[in-house]
Structure 1
């Protein structure tokens, strides 16, 4: 079934911040004894930027503290750090699109461990995110499969469409991101927007402010 889609990246697009970094600080504050692990995060980040460590391994270091958290901790993080960081303009666009019959889809490289709570909002239909493995009923810091970024977002969206039987109405659909790494995802729709970016790169416009 053909459906109008409104597709949104999350970090720096729907919210003002990098949720992965915010989670690192949140975990450190909950367990101050984990402070030495911050050096590992810095090392892994440097190795990733140098091209000698895959993104999945580098990112897992940021979620070291998640093994000590249950669902209530993760929901608390979402409600106290993620929700308050939402751009009011992004919220208004999502609400408007939902009211106009669009299927509102969030697609993010951040983990489903806390991004899944976005589906509690009445104007968000589904969230596609990087998956973390679980053990004994809790998430681990290890990424399951691939980091949901770039072309991987397109693959995840196509799998979602196959699972739901939906087809993106290219002419009427729209997508929003702050990053050029999301150009493959933006290519799935006719109306594409780069948020808070200094170059349009074939996109229709630049909306909301930093």
Structure 2
């Protein structure tokens, strides 16, 4: 049997801010972000009221800011973001926890609803596996749509189980900070909810 595996949500768990809005700000500028959010406010409010889904809202946001952006240009700026901006958004305690797992030969996996374009490179730099939302590409450009399903909620569990035989691991850890992480947390013997904020709390441990 393999020793252990640890699943980490990214936005809000490892980072101190939502990276979708940070990548928009980096690529389009702060003013463009705020103007866009005002125009998108009906959909954002509808999402908060649970009238429309997170995935539908995310597609509205991505379409507004990135539709018809050439993938090559988009990815180049995502790679710049990973190097220049993302390190300042990482919670030190989260990185310390990840490194502790790696030192113990635990398999570490990021499982995130954010797009792989601005997550996968960071995971590669840190020798971590990555499960993330994929963006639809047509004719070499971003469409604003999600390719497949948004990697959130039960979809996180489905993606995990597709890639890993969990019964092969002696111990499973999971870390998250929203209700969209709770299905993933339910997989773990040691599950931590909002673990790297003041007042770390165990969601479940057995």
- Of 66, 83, 87 in structure 2, the residue corresponding to residue 83 of structure 1 is 87
1:135 aligns with 2:138: yes
Corresponding residue of 1:120: 124
Corresponding residue of 1:72: 76
* Secondary structure in 2 matching 1:89: helix
CA distance in structure 1 between the aligned counterparts of 2:162 and 2:166, rounded to whole angstroms: 11
Question: For the Cα contact (< 8 Å) 1:170–1:190, is it kept in 2?
Answer: no
Structure 1 residue 132, shift from structure 2 partner: 1.0
Alignment of 1:1-210 (within 5 A): 2-29=2-29, 32=32, 36-63=35-62, 64-66=64-66, 67-68=68-69, 69-124=73-128, 126-161=129-164, 166-169=165-168, 171-194=170-193, 195=195, 196=197, 200=201, 202-204=203-205
Distance 1:168 1:105, change over 3 A: farther
Structure 1 residue 59, shift from structure 2 partner: 0.6
* Secondary structure in 2 matching 1:73: helix
Question: For the Cα contact (< 8 Å) 2:136–2:144, is it kept in 1?
Answer: yes
CA shift digits 1:129-148 (9 cap, x unpaired): 11210123333321122221
TM-score, normalization by structure 2: 0.82
Distance 1:39 1:188, change over 3 A: same
Structure 1 residue 72, shift from structure 2 partner: 1.1
Corresponding residue of 1:207: none
Distance 1:28 1:72, change over 3 A: closer
Structure 1 residue 28, shift from structure 2 partner: 3.0
Task: Structure 1: state its 5+ residue gaps.
Answer: 205-210
Q: How many residues align?
A: 198
CA distance in structure 1 between the aligned counterparts of 2:30 and 2:143, rounded to whole angstroms: 16
Structure 1 residue 108, shift from structure 2 partner: 0.7
CA shift digits 1:159-191 (9 cap, x unpaired): 112xxxx43555422111122331210121211
